[in-house]
Amino acid sequence: MSRLNVELPGLNLKNPIMPASGCFGFGREYSQFYDLSVLGAIMIKATTVEPRFGNPTPRVAETDAGMLNAIGLQNPGLEKVIAKELPWLSQFDVPIIANVAGSLEEDYVAVASEISKAANVHALELNISCPNVKTGGIAFGTIPEVAKQLTRKVKEVSEVPVYVKLSPNVTNIVEMAKAVEEGGADGLTMINTIVGMRLDLKTGRPILANRTGGLSGPAIKPVAIRMIYEVSQAVSLPIIGMGGVQSAEDVVEYFYAGASAVAVGTANFVDPFVCPTIIEELPPILEKLGFEHISECKGRSWKQHEPFAHYRA
């Protein structure tokens, strides 16, 4: 019997491990290393109505235990993703979670209604949290009422369950989570990157052409764990957790915090085999820790104790 299968709205996962959006393209590059069917799911690169070029370069800058990126949602656009990328991915036995982005409410609605019709798209991930685009993104991800309204609009047109990707760049993440729950979200994914900046020692100027970028990698894991710990106690939506995951131990920690599945982003750049390696290493670690099934780890950080009254209010 598998210790790893997980059921989530729209997603019947053979294991809870999936590459995070923007860190795996549309899978083509990584398919040269391993059979993508071993993955629990794939979160594809953000898709917008029109093709986007994104920001000028440099678009990435390394930091201690992390990296900043300011890609700017470069993607080939809805039409091409539906005509080329999704059909190509359908050769693999793996559900796709389509990351949906835009500048205006109607952009999100347009992408969601079309892309959710694709046979292998089993869920949407509403990207209301990209820190690297000038318009749209930020208000959707930081003002609870706006996020709720957008979620509702997208839910109306989507043919598959809708997960909303939360931004850590807010003062009260629980409030955001509750708002999108009220808007009808089926699940949450968190966290997106944390806004940061690096300066060049010689010139004194920002290294990134966009000046600021989103911090990802091991450096942000404690922030993600804390936020999932808080949100998972405050809402009843399942959470796909992400931020600095690089090992099977990290996955267990995310489950302890309250996640129901885990996405791996930046670590793919460091080790292209990181996802299959984690999937292989999970069962022996669960065995060692005394769990029959991964779901037993879920919410352990707060289940044994009284949850904070504050988050239940």
Ligand X SMILES: Cc1cc2nc3c(=O)[nH]c(=O)nc-3n(C[C@H](O)[C@H](O)[C@H](O)COP(=O)(O)O)c2cc1C
Residue nearest to ligand X (CB): 22
Q: At its nearest, how many Å lie between ligand X and the CB of residue 219?
A: 8
Site string for other proteins, 273-312 (x = CB under 8 A): x---------------------------------------
Q: At its nearest, how many Å lie between ligand X and the CB of residue 112?
A: 14
Exposure string over 25-49, b if 16+ CB within 10 A, otherwise e: bbbeebbeeeebebbbbbbbbbbbb
- Cβ-based nearer residue to ligand X, 25 or 283: 25
Residue 243 within binding range of other proteins, rule CB under 8 A: no
Partner from other proteins, ligand X, none contacting 20, C-beta within 5 to 8 A by type: ligand X
To the nearest 10°, the Cα dihedral for 245, 247, 252, 256? -30
- Cβ-based nearer residue to other proteins, 9 or 272: 272
Residues 49-57: contacts with CB under 8 Å, at least 24 apart: 49/77, 49/78, 49/102, 49/107, 49/110, 49/111, 50/77, 50/78, 51/75, 51/76, 51/77, 51/80, 52/77, 55/132, 55/209, 55/210, 56/209, 56/210, 57/209
Partner from ligand X, other proteins, none contacting 127, C-beta within 5 to 8 A by type: ligand X
Q: At its nearest, how many Å lie between other proteins and the CB of residue 205?
A: 15
Per the listing, tokens 């990328």 go with 85
Residue 88 within binding range of other proteins, rule CB under 8 A: no
Residue 52 within binding range of other proteins, rule CB under 8 A: yes
Longest alpha-carbon distance in the chain: 58
Residue 53 within binding range of other proteins, rule CB under 8 A: yes
Q: What is the spatial distance between Cα 293 and Cα 5, in angstroms, rounded to a whole number?
A: 8
Please give the backbone phi and psi of residue 182, each rounded to the nearest 5 degrees, phi first: -65, -30
Told to judge if 23 belongs to the known catalytic residues of this protein, a careful annotator would answer no
The one segment of 66-74, 91-99, 125-133, 279-287 that binds other proteins by CB under 8 A: 66-74
Residue 69 within binding range of other proteins, rule CB under 8 A: yes
3-class SS of residue 268: helix
Nearest residue to 274 via CA among 252, 248, 241, 293: 248
Strands (E), 76-147: 96-100, 121-127
Site string for other proteins, 212-241 (x = CB under 8 A): -----xx-----------------------
Residue 140 within binding range of other proteins, rule CB under 8 A: no
Q: Catalytic site residues? A: 130
The residues of the shown chain that bind other proteins, judged by CB under 8 A, are 22-25, 28-30, 32-33, 45, 50-54, 57-67, 69, 71, 74, 77, 217-218, 246, 266, 268-273
